[in-house]
A and B are shown apart, each in its own frame.
Chain A
Amino acid sequence: AQKVTQAQTEISVVEKEDVTLDCVYETRDTTYYLFWYKQPPSGELVFLIRRNSFDEQNEISGRYSWNFQKSTSSFNFTITASQVVDSAVYFCALNSNYQLIWGAGTKLIIKP
């Protein structure tokens, strides 16, 4: 069965702290893709990153970084030096054929 688990329902940190959002997935596919999306309070869904199963290199984009570990079926997302504008719900998703299987999301609250 394909499944994505985001165990952290809500995280609250003070601005400038680092924060890591966890994502654990289950799949029988040998080739798959993982995604992170951001949903700010305004409600739209914003694509952040796509990673295929053959590429285990960590990725860094500014204050954002992603740690993909096939051995633990995890694709965690870290925000360094968080800012209030990072407050949002973050979703991890797994591609299964042409469908995205979504986690329940982690609500991130950054306090000033």
Chain B
Amino acid sequence: NAGVTQTPKFRILKIGQSMTLQCAQDMNHNYMYWYRQDPGMGLKLIYYSVGAGITDKGEVPNGYNVSRSTTEDFPLRLELAAPSQTSVYFCASSLSRVEPYEQYFGPGTRLTVT
């Protein structure tokens, strides 16, 4: 199993550009999450999904969009990038909501917006 994979690992965007961060998991997990981690801080939830076709906002959703067309994939879209979106982005997945199992994380994408 590859676990949770994310691409790209690094990206530099100019203000106003758009991009999609890719996330995939091969563990057949229903739950998937996108977090951002600002320097010296904990993780903040951007969006999450409880299954294909179902997504919902987390704590800091503004400026982002997600879709979940398959169980495996959960891309995060940044529209009109702003310097405030400079951060490390982590995708995670977990088995079930019935009992909150641990979340498995991808390696992260380091994004800089200049």
Identify the A interface with B (CB < 8 A).
4, 33, 35, 43-45, 47, 50, 91, 93, 95, 97-100, 102-105
Contacts and interface: CB of A to CB of B under 8 A. Distances in A.
Give the interface centre of B48, B58, B105 by most chain A CB atoms within 10 Å: B105
A56 to B, nearest CB: 18
Give the interface centre of A91, A93, A100 by most chain B CB atoms within 10 Å: A100
A50 to B, nearest CB: 5
B35 to A, nearest CB: 8
21 contacts: A4-B42, A43-B88, A43-B108, A44-B105, A44-B107, A45-B90, A45-B92, A45-B105, A47-B104, A50-B102, A91-B43, A97-B97, A98-B50, A98-B97, A99-B45, A100-B103, A102-B43, A103-B42, A104-B42, A105-B40, A105-B41
Interface size grouping (class) on chain B? 20 to 34
Contacts of A103: 42
B100 interface: yes
Nearest to B97: A98
Contacts of A95: 100
Given A104-B42, A105-B41, A98 B107 contact: no
Contacts of B50: 98
Interface in B63-114: 88, 90, 92, 97, 100-105, 107-108
A35 B108 contact: no
Nearest to B31: A98
A97 B94 CA distance: 13
Contacts of B45: 99-100
A49 B104 CA distance: 12
Nearest to B104: A47
Contact of A100 (B41, B43, B88, B104): B43
Contact of A99 (B48, B88, B108): B48
A100 B48 CA distance: 11
A33 B108 CA distance: 24
Contacts of B107: 43-44
